[in-house]
Amino acid sequence: MNIGGKFLRERGEVSLVWPYKDCVLEGGQTKEEEKRKEIFFNETLAQDEINRMFDPKVLTHWKRHTTDGEQDVTDIQRDENGIIRENFIIKGNNLIALHTLKQQFRGQVKLIYIDPPYNPDSPSNTFIYNNNFKRSSWLTFMKNRLEIAKELLTNDGTMIVAIDENEQEKKVIGNRKILAEEITWSNFRNWGGESKRENAKNCFYPVIVEDGKVVGFGDVLDDNEHPFAQTVQDEKRDLVYPIDPNKIERKWRYARQMANDKDAIVLDFFGGSGTTAHAVLELNKDGGDRKFIICEQMHYVETVTRERVKKVIEQNNSGDFVFCELMQYNQTYIDKIQSAQSSEALVALWRDIAENAFLNWYVNPEMPEAAINDFIAIDDVEKQRHLLAELLDKNQLYVNLSEIEDTDFGVSEEDKVLNKAFYGE
């Protein structure tokens, strides 16, 4: 393929597959067992378009959560060196979020812990994102994120990646090119996106103790249940959970990486249910002031992740965090496309998109009836979703900071003030 007489490779342009567009692959399942094939996009973007995609974004929907409950955010706390000292939970595409963080956190993160999605179709797979993309795509997906994440680490920082053994060989290739010369492997039980608690029964069931004697064993906890103590009283019995003595589940063994650094910033850009944030708050019981940054694009970030961290703060009677989102524009329409269940709903959405969304340059915003009839005649909602999503300019999924004053995006005055505070303007 060539443009203007030059092959793409000669022009310095980049062919992008799903990983750069993964916010299109929202993984909108509400239950782990409800998997489906997702939309994949293949587009070729020039370098200036890639740069635009990775420009810092406007942050919105700011809320601070403290021991006194939810509050409005009025400022962003910094130390004497001007470094932001806040706990964050950020909702939005994690690749875009990392590029949004880089200006303020480059070289500031002591520990990155991630538990990314895996490829294999195994019986224990609970991955709720799309899990059908090829290994080459998975490596691109990870490479994009690891490259920018590395920029955030301190000179002596550590990145820990929990990964299934099926990916180890290929993962080493990616890591050694991107991260460091030395990679340490540690084999534990099958955990993370590949892991079910039933496969690690010695970690997630209670031992029932009565009058100082073991009298039985309880059922394995559901994934959304998190014991907040090693011993929980239940009527006349004690339920003892064989978890870390610091009351922390699975990932928390890696806390030793930052145990002696009481001011460490910890990043998890596959935030999941918020275990990393939970760990940081528990570690701060030693008088530390460690901070966490959690990025998560799935909608459960509001109902699971945020709620879990709020509960930890309430139980500990200490700590706080700021919740915010990457400000959506075309991403809103992507979400609507993924949610639409009929041709009629998609046609109505098409009309809305034609009038209000940012379209690809080659798209005619007019909707001739013949085109609508052809669209309906496809009689395949998945294909219709794909076609409709192709109309949208993927560079406009989120609002760039450089466009914060553009009235087309409707950024509030409050958000303008907080973004200036966050970006140090």
d(CA 162, CA 234): 34
Question: Of 414, 298, 415, 410, nearest to 356 (Cα)?
Answer: 410
What is the token pair recorded at 265?
A: 């910033």
d(CA 361, CA 41): 17
- The DSSP H or E segment spanning 350 is helix 343-356
- Model pTM? 0.69
Count CB atoms within 10 A of the CB of residue 203: 18
Question: Of 147, 141, 143, 148, nearest to 21 (Cα)?
Answer: 141
Beta bridge partners of 159: 112
Crossing angle for the helix pair 343-356 and 381-390, to the nearest 10 degrees: 0
Phi/psi of residue 392, each to 5°? -85, 140
- pLDDT value of position 26: 27
DSSP string of 224-266?
A: T---SSSEEEETTEEEE--S-TTS--GGGGGGGGTTT-TT-EE
- pLDDT value of position 249: 46
d(CA 383, CA 377): 11
> Would you state the torsion angle of the CA atoms of residues 352, 358, 361, 362, taken in this order, to the nearest 10 degrees?
-20
- pLDDT value of position 242: 55
- pLDDT value of position 3: 44
Strand order in the sheet with 207-210: 213-217, 207-210, 237-240, 231-234
Beta bridge partners of 181: none
Judge whether 265 and 109 are in contact, CB under 8 Å: yes
d(CA 42, CA 25): 12
d(CA 150, CA 159): 8
d(CA 334, CA 385): 9
Strand order in the sheet with 153-161: 69-71, 59-66, 321-326, 88-91, 291-296, 265-268, 109-114, 153-161
CATH 3.40.50 spans which residues of the chain? Answer: 59-195+245-326
Judge whether 89 and 323 are in contact, CB under 8 Å: yes
Domain 59-195+245-326 coded CATH 3.10.450: no
Count CB atoms within 10 A of the CB of residue 376: 13
What is the token pair recorded at 364?
A: 């005619």
What is the token pair recorded at 354?
A: 């034609």
Question: Of 231, 35, 203, nearest to 128 (Cα)?
Answer: 35
Phi/psi of residue 274, each to 5°? 95, 20
Question: Over the chain (425 residues), what is each successive 10-residue block's mean pLDDT?
Answer: 43 38 31 35 49 86 96 96 97 92 96 75 44 57 84 88 58 54 50 44 55 59 58 66 47 54 92 90 89 92 93 94 91 81 86 75 65 81 84 77 88 95 92
d(CA 369, CA 372): 5
- pLDDT value of position 371: 76
